[in-house]
Amino acid sequence: MQRVESEIARLIKEINYDEVSRLFGMLSGGKRLRAKLILKIASSSEKAPLLAAIVELIHGASLLHDDVIDEATLRRGVASVNATDGSKTAVMLGDILYSKAFTELVAFERDIARIIASSVTALSKGEMMDVKMAGEFNANEEKYLDMLYLKTATLIEASAEAAAILAGKDVSSHALYGRNLGLSFQIIDDILDITSDAQTLGKPSMNDFVEGKCTLPYIYLYRVLNDDEKKKLVSLHAKVLDEQDALWIRKKMQEHKTIEKSFELAEKLSNEAMNAMKDDVELVNILQTMIKRSY
Ligand code: FPP
Ligand code: MG
């Protein structure tokens, strides 16, 4: 991973603007999941650290914009750029990072450049759908999973796919691995939003629903509630929950096992990904560690 960090530092230096270096230095790098995947899949390729750095810059740019859109004050445990330096600066820093990433992408073969570039259109579409869907209660599972795929899974899928091309490995099984890893990662994130406490999350528990996001445990709950209860759940959507209402939702979720049902889907998706990568112990380990996050 050190080689990826060096590539990122080199690209930031090439931007040749102190203000960008200062702001970038304030960001926390995060888990670097996409970079790790690229390095693992394309360990044989000299170009893997650069591809990983490009993808991390794109991911970083998308989070800068996302925090402006979500008006978030915290990112990866530190104050967001929009909170410290304002939204305009956060948008411009995002623009600089992803355009620099695209400039570097030109050095890769056409298929790789196309896969990464088109995944950014997909993730931007996913973000727009997410914002639009938060405006009203959504009980449609398929619609939710389509949005999740675009917003979170496409860049991970594209990373695995592009790395497979770079390494001359099977493209479709790696794409499936990346897609299912991304989806199950996000479903587990949605579960943790409900099951973890505020201290662990660094934000209030059940914040997704307060922000209007009807994640799988809420969608599954809506289906099994009676008419009066359905009305109650919809009336609580996108509002700050008092303790009693939060408790009612949790109790109903427990009664109808909707967290377990959501977890089963995450597990099913990750088992499919593991089967696609049976012979690759390291890729299977990434999935297993991720599934364990939810315990
Ligand atoms: C986090 O979602 C957001 C994303 C994974 C994607 C955001 C994408 C864009 C803003 C499109 C623009 C793209 C570029 C390259 C500038 P979340 O809000 O559900 O998760 P969070 O809790 O981490 O904020
Ligand atoms: Mg956000």
Helices (H), 31-74: 33-41, 48-70
287: confidence class by pLDDT, cuts 50, 70, 90: confident
Contacts of 7 (CB under 8 A, 6+ apart): 49, 50, 52, 53
For a mutational test of ligand 1's pocket, the pick from 63, 131, 187, i.e. the residue with the most ligand atoms closer than 8 A to its C-beta, is: 63
Strands (E), the chain: 74-75, 78-79
46-105 pLDDT tens trace: 999 999 999 999 999 999 999 999 998 988 888 999 999 999 999 999 999 999 999 999
> Which ligand is closest in space to the CA of residue 189?
1
Handedness of CA 102, 112, 185, 213 (dihedral sign): positive
For residue 245, the model assigns a pLDDT of: 96
32: confidence class by pLDDT, cuts 50, 70, 90: very high
Q: Measure the CA–CA gap between 153 and 137, rounded to whole angstroms.
A: 23
Q: Measure the CA–CA gap between 107 and 123, rounded to whole angstroms.
A: 22
Domains of the chain: 1-30+48-107 (1.10.600.10), 110-295 (1.10.600.10)
C-alpha angle 6/10/16, rounded to 5°? 150
The reply to whether ligand 1 has any atom less than 6 angstroms from the CB of 185 is no
What's the pTM value of the predicted model, to 2 decimals?
0.94
Q: Measure the CA–CA gap between 227 and 121, rounded to whole angstroms.
A: 39
Residue 295 has pLDDT above 80, yes or no: no
> Which ligand is closest in space to the CA of residue 121?
1
For a mutational test of ligand 1's pocket, the pick from 66, 194, 211, i.e. the residue with the most ligand atoms closer than 8 A to its C-beta, is: 66
149-205 pLDDT tens trace: 999 999 999 999 999 999 999 999 999 999 999 999 999 999 999 999 887 877 788
